[in-house]
Amino acid sequence: MRSAITTHILDVNLGRPAANVQVTLFRLEGDAYVQVAQDKTNDDGRIVDWMGEAERQAGVYKVTFDTDGYFNQLGQACLYPSVTIDFRLTAPDEHYHIPLLLSANGYSTYRGS
């Protein structure tokens, strides 16, 4: 079974996937976020199996991308040293894809497929 939550980063300035980016996934439990998973994007800029056998749970999550580390690898400065996206998983049986469109001076996201 594919992970309930996946991500993909596209470097829109270079027009290619952002590989080797550290990404951390958290779930809100009570008043605090608890780390669920951490991995680096593959050569295609994706993390597709980072929850392992973890149960799919409804709730509020956040995913944090180490954009500073990525741009440092490229020898570039960036405006946003990290990007954090909070989102709500309401249907545990559905797939949630959280893509990031990234440049050194901006970013955007949407619910992917």
More confident residue, 95 or 46: 46
Q: Specify the pLDDT at position 2.
A: 61
Supply the mean pLDDT for the chain.
Answer: 93
* Model pLDDT for residues 13-37, shown as the tens digit of each residue: 999 999 999 999 999 999 999 999 9
* Model pLDDT for residues 58-90, shown as the tens digit of each residue: 999 999 999 999 999 999 999 999 999 999 999
Residue span of the structural domain in which 103 resides? 5-109
The whole-angstrom separation of Cα 3 and Cα 75 is: 32
Calculate what percentage of the chain has a pLDDT beyond 90.
81
Output the pTM of the full model.
Answer: 0.94
Closest CA to 108 of 10, 41, 22: 10
What is the CATH classification number for the domain harbouring 89? 2.60.40.180
Our count of domains for the chain comes to 1
Closest CA to 51 of 108, 113, 7: 7
